[in-house]
A and B are shown apart, each in its own frame.
Chain A
Amino acid sequence: MFGVLNKNFLTGLLIVVFLALAPLVLTTHWIIILTEIIIMSLYAMSFNLLFGYTGLLSFGQAGFFGAGAYFSALTLAHFTSSFWVCVAVGVIGTALLAFVIGWFCVRLDEIYFAILTLGFGMMLFTLAHNWRSVTGGSDGLTILTLPVLTFSSYRLELFNPKIFYWLSLITVSLGIVVLRQVVNSPFGLLLTATRENSQRVSFVGQNVRTVRLVAFTIAGALAGMAGVLFGLFNRIASPEMLHWSFSGKAVLMTILGGSGVFLGPAVGTSIFFVLEHFITSYTTNWMIFLGAILIALVLLFPMGVLGTAASFISKQRGVMKHE
């Protein structure tokens, strides 16, 4: 399912080049939408490392996404204005948080795992919502000064949507390269083996919990990375980013695009945001229509839009790959 052709590197490079050139022709309005899609794609893909690859359904991924936003907002407010320090604090902070929370969650799997992650996600939400003195409570933490990027004498202002777009593209691409490396590594195979038959993995002498904990930590750190960008993008870290319904969004976008293909969640994210954008411009009852379209898409593309397309293409080629 995840075994892919060597052309993939070129395909990826082509997508990045295409996306890098996009702001030259797009209006500011669309640049902003595309920025959000790019950031949310990393979020959905981090979720899919657990869901599609490891076979663990997390309902708490927003907890790490939001934590990344809060960590960077706090760093900006109290310590430094460096963009890369912000990202580093966000990623390392969420990795640690994910490690601790994961340590409890990976003890169970299936629905029990989902409930545990949901529970921890709700705790993080409540913490952000009620710890007013640190988190700003329900108002969130407003980011008053965006970080600056300095390359020796050059200063890049993140207030410029194009600059912010390119920066997001670079950061998200880095995150995706990391994910790609993980799924292609020996550890990545162990993840899919654990998904397929965790009992058999432990019967050949591998502690399954450790495997799951490492996956959980990596997924959390990458969600945190996306969260840092999302906080800067909205200039605020707010409790909604940690809410379980935000975790549900990751599930929805992943299933929509296809959990069985590497870029599936990114495709799902794109479809979701473009649909949302168009429908909200026509009606205030947009949720009804968005819901109806999503139901139709899921029924039409049982393996996700990209997943179903990929399996159709490989059948057309006569490559009998998987059931």
Chain B
Amino acid sequence: MNNTPLLEIKNLHKNFGKFQALHGVSLTVSEGCLTALIGPNGAGKTTFYNVVSGRYKPSGGRVYFQGKDVTGAPTHKLVGLGLLRSFQITNIFPKLTVLENVLTPVIIHNGKSFSLLNSLRRKTDLREQAEQILDMVGLTRYANRSASTLAYGDKRLVEIAIALARKPKLVLLDEPTAGMNPEETERIIHLIKDLSTRSGATFFITEHDMKVVFSIAQRIFVLNQGRPLAEGTPDEIRANRFVREAYLGGSLDARGA
């Protein structure tokens, strides 16, 4: 395997006026390594995602994707390189069918956005690709249903399927289990683990549910008040004194998986 990390962040800063949302964050994500970013509310996780995915420009520091400097690059450029994000709030095409939801990014991915002479009515290669992705996330049986009629957990799966349709190398998943019931949470954990090995994409998730983090992450970064606090394997993070004191309190033993 080559040594260039998939994503490398060096000394990232982001200020909003005088408020320092991110202060000197450095981290790396290696290909195939399911990585998690954790931290209490307001630690800067979402800001971090917004900077890395091109939504905000950083105030300082660099972002490298596959060794390439992409600091401050616009979202569509990052998407073209294979860096996609999924959203904390459900962000889908409500009145389109589930299949059409996935077909849309498939069309874009294949450079067919302005293809006017093909018809989607026929069985096309595009359609097949979209069906494969639905199969991968287990939504095949809802293919022809309007996405707005799905249960909340399934809508989140549509959301992930939309990201996967661009054949990403790295997917940033912001709180994938937010708002889910235990059953749905169980299902999505299983799915992320599965996709992480099967889809060719590396997942980088933020999560507030420690049980989820410790059960799926191979590597964990802890953020506190915009500053990096610790990094390591789940076991190392569990044992880390600073993390226990500053963030997790004594609850790790009780809640750890």
Supply 4 further A-B pairs (C-beta < 8 A) apart from A189-B100, A205-B76.
A189-B103, A197-B91, A205-B80, A205-B108
Q: Which of B113, B115, B126 contacts A206 (CB 8 A)?
A: B113
A155: Cβ under 8 A from any B Cβ: no
A190 to B113, CA, bound (A): 7
- With a cutoff of 8 Å between Cβ atoms, the chain B residues found around residue A323 in the complex are 95, 146, 148-149
What does the 1/0 interface line of B109-124 toward A look like (CB < 8 Å)? Answer: 1001111111111000
- The answer to whether B94 touches A186, judged by C-beta atoms less than 8 angstroms apart, is no
- Whether B103 lies near A185 (C-beta < 8 A) is no
A202-B116 in contact given A189-B107, A193-B93, A193-B96 (Cβ < 8 Å): no
User: Which one, A186, A196, A206, A207, contacts B96 given CB within 8 A?
Assistant: A196
Query: What distance in Å separates the Cβ of B141 from its nearest Cβ neighbour in chain A?
Result: 14
State which of B105, B121, B165 has its C-beta within 8 Å of the C-beta of A184.
B121
Which A residues form the contact surface with B (CB < 8 A)? Answer: 1, 3, 6, 181-182, 184-190, 192-193, 196-197, 199-207, 210-211, 214, 320-323
7 contacts between A and B (CB under 8 A): A1-B95, A186-B115, A187-B115, A192-B95, A192-B96, A211-B113, A320-B145
Asked if B237 lies at the interface with its beta carbon under 8 angstroms from chain A, I say: no
- Residue B166 at the A interface, CB < 8 A? yes
Q: Are B104 and A201 in contact (CB under 8 A)?
A: yes
Contact B119 A184 (CB under 8 A): yes
Q: Which secondary structure dominates chain A's binding surface?
A: helix
Minimum Cβ distance to chain B for residue A6 (Å): 7
Residues of A with C-beta under 8 A to B149: 323
B120 close to A204 (CB less than 8 A): no
Residues of B near any A CB (own CB < 8 A)? 75-76, 79-80, 84-85, 91-97, 100, 103-105, 107-109, 112-121, 126, 145-146, 148-149, 162-163, 165-166
Q: How far does the alpha carbon of A199 sit from the alpha carbon of B159 in the complex, in Å?
A: 13
**Contact between chains at A186 and B113 (CB < 8 Å):** yes
| Chain B residue at smallest Cβ distance from A4 | B121
State in angstroms the CA–CA spacing of A276 and B61 once bound together.
67
| Bound form: Cα–Cα A275–B200 in Å | 61
Closest chain-B Cβ to A84's Cβ sits at a distance in Å of 22
- Contact call A181/B119, Cβ cutoff below 8 A: yes
Residues of B contacting A1 in the complex (Cβ-Cβ under 8 angstroms): 95
